Structure 1
Amino acid sequence: MPYVNIKITDENVTKDQKLKLIQGVTQLLVDVLGKNPATTVVVIDEVHTDNWGIGGKCVTELRTRK
């Protein structure tokens, strides 16, 4: 049973976009590894940009600099 955990920043990702990610990742595992989609688990974690750091700075700060 494959388990895939996708972590993304919480920046207005729509329900439809999340569904497309779940469907796409599931299909990729079917196509590449021959996995059964009925037992493939995909979890999406949305992380607030204050809690996601790159290069010693939080994403919130990096986004406000642009």
Structure 2
Amino acid sequence: MPYVTVKMLEGRTDEQKKALVEKVTEAVKETTGAPKENIVVFIEEMTKNHYAVGGERLSDK
């Protein structure tokens, strides 16, 4: 049973997240041969306060 975690900044619409889950599921199915009903996709959204690049939080930019 494949598990996929997508970590991204918050702000996407429900429609965008739905499309992401569908396309990730299809890609995993095509590449691994796993049945669609066994593929689990987690979306973890982070605020800009919880994400930093080069020592600087994105919320501080």
TM-score by length of 2: 0.93
Which runs of at least 4 in structure 1 moved beyond 2 Å after TM superposition?
none
TM-score by length of 1: 0.87
Identity across matched positions, percent: 30
- Aligned-residue RMSD, C-alpha: 0.8
Listed as ranges, the gaps of 5+ residues in structure 2 are: none
What amino acid maps onto 2:4 in structure 1? Answer: V
C-alpha separation between the residues in 2 aligned to 1:59 and 1:37? 36
> 1:55: Cα distance to partner?
0.5
What amino acid maps onto 2:42 in structure 1? Answer: V
Deviations 1:27-55 (A, max 9, x none): 00111111111010001011010000110
C-alpha separation between the residues in 1 aligned to 2:59 and 2:52? 9
Secondary structure in structure 2 of the residue aligned to 1:35: coil
Listed as ranges, the gaps of 5+ residues in structure 1 are: none
In the alignment, is residue 6 of structure 1 matched against residue 24 of structure 2?
A: no
> How many matched pairs?
61
C-alpha separation between the residues in 1 aligned to 2:60 and 2:32? 39
